[in-house]
Structure 1
Amino acid sequence: MKITKYGAIDIGSNAVRLLVANIIEDEDKEPQFKKSSLVRVPIRLGADAFVSGEISDGNIDRMVDAMNAFKLIMKVHGVSKYKACATSAMREASNGQAVVEKILKETEVEIDIIDGKKEAAIISSTDLSSLIKSDSTYLYVDVGGGSTEFTLFSKGKIVNSKSFKIGTVRLINNAKAENKAIFKKVQQWIEENTEDYKRISLIGSGGNINKLFKMSGRELGKPISYIYLNAQYQFLKKMSYRERISELSLNPDRADVIIPATKIYLSAMKWSGARKIFVPKIGLSDGIIKSLYFNKL
């Protein structure tokens, strides 16, 4: 048996994460990917990129500190290989490339700014075999701070995928008319791509759906229903930001974005006709680990 440790840094629009995973290789067996450590820091780059169009000096400094901290954590864990990927906030910021160069110079951490298509491909490479049945159809929805990736699976294969500029931080900062227009585009894509399929289920990934699943008390692997999710959405909307923190123990950077995130999942379920959503607790960082192992990055 051989055990190695890989690291994945996911620089999102709402938070920056480091995942350390054990890769267990045994003779005549498929490799196993086991999460060892997950560190999340609330650096909301989207609040910069989607409003002013560039990453602020304050957040650049926080990013440098975070990368140095992540390097030390990976050193302690004995990580042999890692990859850092940045998504919509960094790719839309006018100074995104300059920030990448500054971080490389000051921390020696090399960051790849990936486009929406590559982000969707990496997310889709995560291990969904335990969920996806060969004779069923699923719409995979990964909601981030700046974008949401949609991937349609049928009979175990990818039918189509698309990334839209519809994320939680973006929805909070955009004008209502702008949000309405992008929701319309998403609706059209989902309806066009799912109209030929019956009995579609959603697979949701992202920190907000993971939190909603935990709040539901459901057993891991069991789906939550559209009825439950809609009831939870109405409940959360009635509470103030302060109440969501004090009464539900939500982190301050989760208490506001959880509402637009829930709206995206509910909308995707409505437009695809899905009545349940599975939450496997996987995302971009898991995909980075697998892609690194199979030399796809």
Structure 2
Amino acid sequence: MFAALDLGTNNCRLLIAEPARHGTFRIVDAFSRIVRLGEGLASHGRIADAAIERTLDALQVCAGRMRRRRVTHIRAIATEACRRATNGGEFLARARQETGIALEVISPAEEARLAVAGCTPLLDPDRRRALVFDIGGGSTELAWLAVKGPDRAEMLDWISVPLGVVTLAERFGGVEVDATVYGRMVGEVRDAMAPFAARHDAREAARDFGFQLLGTSGTVTTLAAVRMNLPRYDRSRVDGSWMTRDEIDRVITDIKALPFDGRAANPCIGRDRADLVLAGCAILEAILEAWPEKRLRIADRGLREGVLMGLMADSKA
């Protein structure tokens, strides 16, 4: 049995799976909890005590599930919050001592590579250039790909922008966001991505190769679920779905018009994401401005699936 644990700036997520035919796998258990590990990190440079306790509680749950499923192969990774925090090493040591989980802090390049590996099955092999993006809590990863065929892609270039939904919401506020503040968020992300966008033009790629856009993150999956008017989030409905640019614009406009309590009341947003969703929308808008495309493919998969694929391949070597 194999397990992939992804501890991000906002979420702690676990997948447990067993190998299936033709290099695929079957998920037997999954867990996700918003822990906000990076809360206050941008202003203080440290992981807060309350965030550590929330995260350790979630890791204990993950450890228990892995024991019950008799997991034999595990890779547990940590990303932006642990990369940046001055007390990241202390937190990792405590996590290992109290939960038995040895977290590995990966580089932004490895984070982008794993996200791409997990999403590759959703890419259209007839469109030979793709931008895959992952809007995280503490950073946003963008990868420019050459699609080589079904389930095959080469990462030609990537960037990690140190702006995610938590960092952006803490900087600009997430509870009350007027048009001016929202515009400033979009502008900050746009400026941070500008050198990467200048190197990789969507119109040129569409003309010469065929271009596609794929997003994996809580932001894009939330917007897709809101568009579908789901009574609660349903991964099977969202993963692999499509949204047109007009649909994205309408959903973002509707969410921007809601007060905090209205966002919290939406079952696909909820109170845990109500102060973060507009920051995510701003990041997505900046991406769509830089790489205009009529449709966006939605992925509720990525880093954990990439980890599982790597673990299973290594076990056969």
Amino acid in the other structure paired with 2:249: N
> In structure 1, the residue corresponding to 2:120 is in which secondary structure?
coil
Aligned twin of 1:276: 295
Distance 1:77 1:234, change over 3 A: same
Q: Distance in 2 between matches of 1:93 and 1:124?
A: 26
Distance 1:181 1:245, change over 3 A: closer
Structure 2: tracts of 5 or more residues without a match: 149-153, 173-180, 229-236
Q: Distance in 2 between matches of 1:257 and 1:209?
A: 13
1:197 matched to 2:205? The reply is: yes
Residue pair 1:148, 1:167 contacting (<8 A) in 2 also: yes
> In structure 2, the residue corresponding to 1:146 is in which secondary structure?
coil
> In structure 2, the residue corresponding to 1:174 is in which secondary structure?
helix
> In structure 1, the residue corresponding to 2:160 is in which secondary structure?
strand
Which has the higher mean CA deviation after the structures are superposed, 176-185 or 152-161? 176-185
Identify, as 1 or 2, the structure richer in helix. Answer: 2
Distance 1:58 1:130, change over 3 A: closer
Residue pair 1:165, 1:182 contacting (<8 A) in 2 also: no
Q: Distance in 1 between matches of 2:142 and 2:259?
A: 30
> In structure 2, the residue corresponding to 1:155 is in which secondary structure?
strand
- Taking structure 2 as the reference length, the TM-score comes to 0.83
Aligned twin of 2:190: 183
Aligned twin of 1:149: 141
Aligned twin of 1:6: 2
Q: Deviations over 1:8-64 (max 9, x none)?
A: 11111111111112221x4xxx22122222211221012132222111222222322
Aligned twin of 2:233: none
Q: Distance in 2 between matches of 1:98 and 1:260?
A: 30
Aligned twin of 1:224: 243
Identify the match of residue 167 of structure 2 among 162, 170, 177.
170
Distance 1:252 1:237, change over 3 A: same
Q: Distance in 2 between matches of 1:155 and 1:106?
A: 43
Q: Deviations over 1:159-211 (max 9, x none)?
A: 21111112000111125779744431203312321253125321010122112
Identify the match of residue 266 of structure 1 among 264, 285, 288.
285
Residue pair 2:225, 2:268 contacting (<8 A) in 1 also: no
Q: Which residues in structure 2 correspond to 1:75-224 (within 5 Å)?
A: 75-156=67-148, 157-174=154-171, 180-194=187-201, 196-198=204-206, 199-217=210-228, 221-224=240-243
Residue pair 1:208, 1:254 contacting (<8 A) in 2 also: no
1:252 matched to 2:252? The reply is: no
Aligned twin of 1:234: 253
Q: Distance in 1 between matches of 2:91 and 2:5?
A: 16
Distance 1:220 1:84, change over 3 A: closer
Q: Distance in 1 between matches of 2:46 and 2:68?
A: 33
Which has the higher mean CA deviation after the structures are superposed, 62-71 or 81-90? 62-71
The percent of aligned pairs where both chains have the same amino acid is 22
Distance 1:162 1:143, change over 3 A: same
1:23 matched to 2:19? The reply is: yes
For the aligned residue pairs, the C-alpha RMSD in angstroms reads 2.2
> In structure 1, the residue corresponding to 2:155 is in which secondary structure?
strand
Residue pair 1:223, 1:279 contacting (<8 A) in 2 also: yes
Aligned twin of 1:294: 313
Q: Deviations over 1:195-246 (max 9, x none)?
A: 5312532101012211222222377634211111011111101101111122
Aligned twin of 1:58: 50
Instruction: Please state how far the C-alpha of 1:128 moved relative to its aligned partner.
Output: 1.7
Amino acid in the other structure paired with 2:224: F
- Taking structure 1 as the reference length, the TM-score comes to 0.89
Residue pair 2:190, 2:290 contacting (<8 A) in 1 also: no
How many residue pairs get aligned? The number is 288
